[in-house]
C-alpha cells in the first residue's frame, strides 16, 4: 500500500492531502482556531530547530553502539531533532535487527543516490538530509551542527484531539518539489542482544522511526495543518515530527524545516 501511494504521489503530488485523509479515514484540513474546550490542554510548540539528525544503525553492527549513545546525548538538545533508522542489511551477521525496516535501508540508499557518492554504511549520521559522517565521529558531527540551519520555521502543538502544525513562508527551491512529511517514532526502546557482534549487550535507542509518510506539499507560503492526535500518536511512548524536505525522482534531498513536540508535550 505504501509503495503504491508513493508512486502515485510522485505522479500526482497535488493528491497528497486527500489521499492521506482517505488512508487515515479522517479529515486533513487547514487548521481553524482551537475550540475553547481544547485550548487549556494545548502544549507549548517546539521551535528553533536547526538540524534533523538521522542515524542509520543496526543491532548487528559492532561499531554502532557508540553512535547510538551519541545520538542519545544529542536527543537532549531542544534545537535538534534526532531519529534512529535501523537498517536490515547486516541481519546475516548472526542477529536479525528487531527494529529494522526495509524502508530505512531504501531511504539511506536514496540519500546516497541523490548526493551521488554511493556511500551507504553504518553507523551513518545524515544531517539535514545532506551532510554525513560516521555517527560516532563526534568532532565531525559537531562541526556540521555548528553551522547547521533550517531556513523555514515549523512548529507543532497539541490538544486532546488535535495536532496543530504551522509552517512558515520561505523561498521555494527551483529544483524538485518540497514535501511535508509526518514522521512517527518510539521515543525510547531498549533491546537485549542475544547473538551476533553485540551479543550480551542491551542497547538503548532514541526516536526509532515507525513511519515517514508524505502528507502534503509546500509552495513557499505559510500554511497550517490539523491532524487527529489519536491517529498520529496512538499508543504509549510515541512521538512525532514534521519535516519539510526537498525531493526529486532520485529521492530525498535537503531538509528545509522541521518541528516536533517538546518532550513534556509528547508524554
> 224 is in which domain, residue-wise?
2-266
DSSP state at residue 161: S
Taking only the tens place, the pLDDT of each residue in 179-231 is 999 999 999 999 999 999 999 999 999 999 999 999 999 999 999 999 999 88
CB 17 within 8 A of CB 30: no
pLDDT-based confidence at residue 160 (cuts at 50, 70, 90): confident
pTM: 0.83
- Cα–Cα distance, 180 to 29 (Å, whole number): 14
Taking only the tens place, the pLDDT of each residue in 33-88 is 344 333 333 333 445 899 999 999 999 999 999 999 999 999 999 999 999 999 99
Which contacts qualify for 245-250: CB closer than 8 Å, 24 or more apart? 245/129, 245/178, 245/179, 245/181, 246/129, 246/173, 246/175, 246/176, 246/177, 246/178, 247/176, 247/177, 247/178, 247/179, 248/114, 248/175, 248/176, 248/177, 249/10, 250/110, 250/113, 250/114
Instruction: Please give the pLDDT value at position 47.
Output: 52
Domain count within the chain: 1
Q: How big is the chain, counted in residues?
A: 267
CATH number of the domain to which 131 belongs: 3.40.30.10
CB 34 within 8 A of CB 159: yes
| C-alpha dist (Å) from residue 46 to 16, 124, 133, 146, 155 | 25, 26, 27, 20, 5
pLDDT-based confidence at residue 176 (cuts at 50, 70, 90): confident
Amino acid at each position: 500500500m505504501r509503495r503504491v501511494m508513493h508512486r502515485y504521489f510522485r505522479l500526482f503530488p497535488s493528491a497528497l492531502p486527500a489521499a492521506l485523509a482517505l488512508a487515515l479515514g479522517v479529515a486533513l484540513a487547514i487548521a481553524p482556531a482551537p475550540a475553547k474546550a481544547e485550548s487549556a490542554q494545548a502544549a507549548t510548540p517546539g521551535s528553533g530547530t536547526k538540524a534533523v539528525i538521522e542515524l542509520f544503525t543496526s543491532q548487528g553492527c559492532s561499531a554502532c553502539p557508540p553512535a547510538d549513545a551519541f545520538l542519545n546525548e544529542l536527543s537532549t538538545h531542544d534545537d535538534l531533532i534526532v531519529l534512529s533508522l535501523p537498517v536490515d542489511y547486516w541481519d546475516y551477521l548472526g542477529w536479525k535487527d528487531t527494529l529494522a525496516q526495509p524502508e530505512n535501508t531504501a531511504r539511506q540508499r536514496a540519500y546516497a543516490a541523490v548526493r551521488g557518492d554511493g556511500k551507504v554504511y553504518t553507523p551513518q549520521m545524515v544531517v539535514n538530509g545532506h551532510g554525513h559522517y560516521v555517527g560516532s565521529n563526534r568532532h565531525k558531527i559537531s562541526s556540521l551542527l555548528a553551522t547547521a540551519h533550517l531556513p523555514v520555521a515549523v512548529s507543532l502543538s497539541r490538544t486532546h484531539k488535535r495536532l496543530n502544525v504551522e509552517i512558515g513562508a520561505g523561498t521555494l527551491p527551483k529544483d524538485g518539489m518540497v514535501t511535508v512529511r509526518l514522521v512517527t517514532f518510539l521515543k525510547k526502546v531498549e533491546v537485549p542482544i542475544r547473538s551476533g557482534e553485540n551479543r550480551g549487550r542491551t542497547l538503548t535507542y532514541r526516536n526509532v522511526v515507525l513511519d515517514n509518510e508524505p502528507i502534503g506539499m509546500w509552495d513557499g507560503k505559510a500554511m497550517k495543518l490539523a491532524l487527529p492526535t489519536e491517529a498520529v500518536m496512538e499508543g504509549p511512548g510515541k512521538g512525532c515530527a514534521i519535516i519539510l524536505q526537498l525531493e526529486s525522482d532520485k529521492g530525498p534531498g535537503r531538509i528545509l524545516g522541521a518541528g516536533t513536540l517538546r518532550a513534556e508535550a509528547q508524554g
